[in-house]
Amino acid sequence: MSLNRRALFGSLGGAAALAAFRADALARIAEAAKTVAGRPAASVASDETYWAEIARAFDVDRTLINLNNGGCSPAPAHVLEAMIRDLRFSNEIPVYHMWTVLEPRIESVRRDLAAEFGCDPEEMAITRNASESLETLICGIDLKAGDEVIFTTQNYPRMITSWDQRSRRQGIVLKPISFPVPPKSAADIVERFRQAITPRTRVIEVTHITNLTGQILPVRDLVRLGRERGIEVFVDGAHAFAQFPFKRDDLECDYYATSLHKWLFAPIGTGFLYVRKAKQKSIWPLMAAPATMDEDIRKYEEIGTHPAANHNAIAVALAFHRGIGAERKAARLRLLRDRWAKRLAAASPRVRILTPLNDTESCGIGFVHVEGLDTEKLQAHLWDKHRIMTTPIIHPEFNGLRITPNVYTTFDEIDAFCDRMEKLLKSGLPA
Ligand SMILES: Cc1ncc(COP(=O)(O)O)c(C=O)c1O
């Protein structure tokens, strides 16, 4: 068995899960992997034949161009089918099929995700999304009035709202900091955090990659900064996991939260929460769990009745991700980013790309501000008139379009977006 196939089958968690695969999807990506074996990721990134094979795993509607895959990605058809199959099976007799047959399979999902992230399975909780994971951390850590929390004005709004609610309820003090887009340097970001630290600082919440401009932040340096001073560092990796390769030990983090319906292409309503073993006792679950579970990562999964189908299909999505390979996926996403961003930047001095176009500071997400074109009207025009979906980002400190292609995005689609933008740069938006 080749390495790729072993990685694929290894992540499936047994014969029962294997049956979930639409046979041709598995065969197709395994065959496609053979055709590019041994070639560097950067060279495979531009191989449209290879990526066309990957795209066939998705039910893509080519009458529209989806450049907002960051919000939520479609799952490949066979991942969706695995979930639907399990939903139907559950529905026959939920108390037995869902609870007794399917739910225990969460353990193989835990094992596979832990292997992918580089932690122990006993540190990996399966959740419904990054929000649930992060709120577990934000609401679950003991803090008292006057304790301080540092985050940036570019953290995800729901998380800022969660901190704000805790502040209103318990009098903790919030210390938001800002940094320019693009930032001066990674060191400058770390310095801004350092300057906000006081003897009362208890928590830093940092976004691994922002949902706004796609900026990757220097998480490991911030984790080290926090650890030196006894400050807990919560990492929001909603957009990072499976978009570009990294392991827990690259970040050295104690806490990590992500959604899996973004870049892993798992079904909607899937995520994980990593909490280092030694830290579990001090983070309460969102929904109460018995004291016997104080040091059991499963206490974060005590959420009442929920479908087993969604989280079990994570295993199938992970197999698909491994079938492509994290390096190849990231290289393709970066190539697509460069294709539109460099072309638009060259088209007019009014175009400002506010995402650094390099491998360490960004990946598939890019952000463009166009002087003279109203961001919201531009987004609406692209969708209403041309069926091109982008994301309008209106932040108090900057605004523009966020562009997030996916592995099924073709060069032709990127070029169609650029053609349209170049026309609008010349003619302006219709009144
Ligand atoms: C940086 C960041 N954090 C957290 C979230 C919340 O993710 P979800 O809505 O999947 O819980 C998002 C969603 O876009 C995000 O971009």
Tens of pLDDT, residue by residue over 117-149, are 999 999 999 999 999 999 999 999 999 999 999
For strand 255-259 and strand 271-275, is the pairing parallel, antiparallel, or unpaired? Answer: antiparallel
pLDDT at 343: 98
Q: What is the pTM of this model?
A: 0.94
- Flag whether pLDDT at 52 surpasses 90: yes
Six token digits for residue 87: 């939903």
- Flag whether pLDDT at 212 surpasses 60: yes
Q: In the chain, pLDDT over 90 holds for what percent of residues?
A: 92
377-391 mean pLDDT: 98
pLDDT at 67: 98
70 contacts 262 by C-beta, under 8 angstroms: yes
Give distance in angstroms: CA of 259 to centre of ligand 1.
Answer: 7
Q: How far is CA 157 from CA 54, 216, 268, 318, 363, in A?
A: 33, 17, 20, 28, 22
Q: In what order do the strands lie in the sheet with 124-127?
A: 124-127, 271-275, 255-259, 232-236, 201-207, 148-152, 173-177
- DSSP state letter for 45: T
- Flag whether pLDDT at 11 surpasses 90: no
Give distance in angstroms: CA of 114 to centre of ligand 1.
Answer: 20
CB 129 less than 6 A from any atom of ligand 1: yes
CB 136 less than 6 A from any atom of ligand 1: no
Give distance in angstroms: CA of 66 to centre of ligand 1.
Answer: 18
Q: Which residues pair with 370 in a beta bridge?
A: 351
Q: Minimal CA–CA distance to 101: which of 88, 114, 112?
A: 88
pLDDT at 12: 39
- At 258 the three-state DSSP class reads strand
pLDDT at 3: 37
Q: Quote the strand ranges of 156-214, DSSP E.
A: 173-177, 201-207
244 contacts 407 by C-beta, under 8 angstroms: no
- Flag whether pLDDT at 15 surpasses 80: no
234-253 mean pLDDT: 98
- Give the span between the Cα atoms of 327 and 73, in whole angstroms: 19
Q: Which of 126, 129, 268 to mutate to test the pocket of ligand 1 (most atoms within 8 A of CB)?
A: 129
Q: Which of 69, 72, 136, 158 to mutate to test the pocket of ligand 1 (most atoms within 8 A of CB)?
A: 158
- Give the span between the Cα atoms of 300 and 132, in whole angstroms: 9
pLDDT at 364: 98
pLDDT bucket at 22, cuts 50 / 70 / 90: low
pLDDT at 10: 38
Nearest CA to ligand 1 atom 9: 131
- Give the span between the Cα atoms of 82 and 262, in whole angstroms: 18
Give distance in angstroms: CA of 162 to centre of ligand 1.
Answer: 13
Tens of pLDDT, residue by residue over 319-334, are 999 999 999 999 999 9
pLDDT bucket at 25, cuts 50 / 70 / 90: confident
Give distance in angstroms: CA of 400 to centre of ligand 1.
Answer: 19
pLDDT at 87: 98
- Give the span between the Cα atoms of 314 and 80, in whole angstroms: 10
Give distance in angstroms: CA of 146 to centre of ligand 1.
Answer: 28
Average model confidence (pLDDT) across the chain = 94
DSSP assignment of 136-154 equals HHHHHB---TT-EEEEETT
Q: Which of 153, 234, 236 to mutate to test the pocket of ligand 1 (most atoms within 8 A of CB)?
A: 236
- Flag whether pLDDT at 391 surpasses 80: yes
